[in-house]
Each structure stands twice: as structure tokens, then as C-alpha cells.
Chains A and B, each alone.
Chain A
Amino acid sequence: DGGITQSPKYLFRKEGQNVTLSCEQNLNHDAMYWYRQDPGQGLRLIYYSQIVNDFQKGDIAEGYSVSREKKESFPLTVTSAQKNPTAFYLCASSDFGTSGSDEQFFGPGTRLTVL
């Protein structure tokens, strides 16, 4: 049963804490992405990775960090430097083919709330 899993579903953070959001896929996709969604807003790209041990900043990378040590995994750390982290975080993956853009498949999301 292929897909993308994210954990936890809900996460609460105290101010000043770092937290890590998990994203795992078993679709054998090369590319993985992290997006942030705020109420009534579209998806904003935080980081993306097309290959193991390589990743690129998206539009709103400040205050976030990622790693890509395995093809299946792309965890996102929300650091204390991110001043307004309360949002819905979505992980996605795609089979980055020669056409350049392939459909992205999303995990169920993690809702992060700062207390």
C-alpha cells in the first residue's frame, strides 16, 4: 500500500522550542517537498529535495531546516528562529522525470500550533 505518511498529525510547540515533523514515502519517488499552508492561503514552498543528500531552499526557508539522508525520508525541523510557525504543514513527493514537472502526491499533513 504505497503512499506518504506524516507524523504527528497534531503538534504543539512552546515558544523557543525546535520541533521535527516526519515525512516518509514508499512510492520510490526521487523528489520530496515541504509546504506551509496558512488559513485561507495557498501552499508556500519551504524546502525541496530531488536527490538524497541534496536539498534546496524554497520561498520561505527562513527558520526551517531539512535533511535527506534516505530516499524515503525528508524530515522538517521548525526552529525557534521561525517566529510564526503555527500552520498546516504538507509534505509531497513526485517522480521527477525528464519532463521537468510531474504531479505531486501529498501526505495527510501536520497541524502545528505554538502555545
Chain B
Amino acid sequence: QKEVEQNSGPLSVPEGAIASLNCTYSDRGSQSFFWYRQYSGKSPELIMFIYSNGDKEDGRFTAQLNKASQYVSLLIRDSQPSDSATYLCAPGGGSQGNLIFGKGTKLSVKP
């Protein structure tokens, strides 16, 4: 059974701080990694994806991937109250192109 582990949180950070969200995965064959943000009662929306080891930056978001350690993370700089949501990690590892979702980390940014 392929597994994706995330700290469920809640992770609470003050406004303006850096939020660090972590994810480990079991399938060494995973080649693509996606981060989704889900507001309460809403559907997930894609915010970042990464395919190669190292860092990928997009605005206030940075995704970090270490395939040897089977670890992917998401950093949110200058956190805003509007970033308060659940963040889902999803490695692509299904044999038919499926994404395998973690349970998500709930982030709360306090003003």
C-alpha cells in the first residue's frame, strides 16, 4: 500500500512568519509531486508542483523535493490569514497516473 504521511496539525503561525509543511511518501517510483490548498468546505486547488530534486519557487511559495529521502515540503513566506487552509501533498505514484493524497496539514495563520 502506497502511503503519504503529513502532520495533521493544526500548524499555527503568526502573520508574516514562514509556514513549513512537510510530507513523506513511500513510493520510490513517484516522479511528480503536487501541493493542493483546500479551504473549508471547498474543493482542492493546485498551488505548486515539482518534478526535480531541489527547490522551486513561485511567489511566496517554495516547494522542496528530496527523492533520496522521499521527502517533499512546502514553505509559505510572509504568511497571511488568507493562507489558513488545509494543504494536501500528492505524489504521482499510481500505475495509471493517479495521484495519491495525504490527509493534509491544517494551517492557521493568526493576525
Q: Point out residues on A near B: beta carbons under 8 Å.
A: 31, 33, 35, 40-43, 45, 48, 50, 56, 58, 90, 94, 96, 99-109
The count of chain B contact residues (Cβ–Cβ below 8 Å) is 25
Least CB separation from A90: chain B residue: B43
Is B54 part of the binding interface, using a Cβ–Cβ cutoff of 8 Å?
A: no
Taking A103-B46, A106-B45 as contacts, is the C-beta distance between A43 and B88 under 8 angstroms? yes
In the bound assembly, the distance between CA atoms of A35 and B104 in angstroms comes to: 15
User: B103 touches which one: A35, A42, A104, A109 (CB < 8 A)?
Assistant: A42
Least CB separation from B94: chain A residue: A101
Q: Return the 10 tightest CB-CB contacts between A and B, nearest first.
A: A101-B92, A42-B103, A106-B43, A43-B101, A101-B32, A42-B101, A96-B97, A109-B43, A103-B46, A100-B97
User: B44 touches which one: A48, A96, A102, A106 (CB < 8 A)?
Assistant: A106
In the bound assembly, the distance between CA atoms of A88 and B8 in angstroms comes to: 19
CB distance from A99 to the nearest CB of B (A): 7
CB distance from A105 to the nearest CB of B (A): 7
For residue B30, which residues in chain A have a CB less than 8 angstroms away from its CB?
101
Is B11 part of the binding interface, using a Cβ–Cβ cutoff of 8 Å?
A: no
User: B98 touches which one: A48, A106, A109 (CB < 8 A)?
Assistant: A48
CB distance from B63 to the nearest CB of A (A): 13
Other 15 A-B pairs with CB < 8 A, given A40-B103, A42-B88, A94-B97: A31-B97, A42-B4, A43-B101, A50-B97, A58-B98, A100-B92, A101-B93, A101-B98, A103-B34, A103-B46, A104-B90, A104-B99, A106-B43, A107-B43, A109-B43
Is B71 part of the binding interface, using a Cβ–Cβ cutoff of 8 Å?
A: no
In the bound assembly, the distance between CA atoms of A99 and B32 in angstroms comes to: 9
Whether A99 lies near B43 (C-beta < 8 A) is no
CB distance from B108 to the nearest CB of A (A): 15
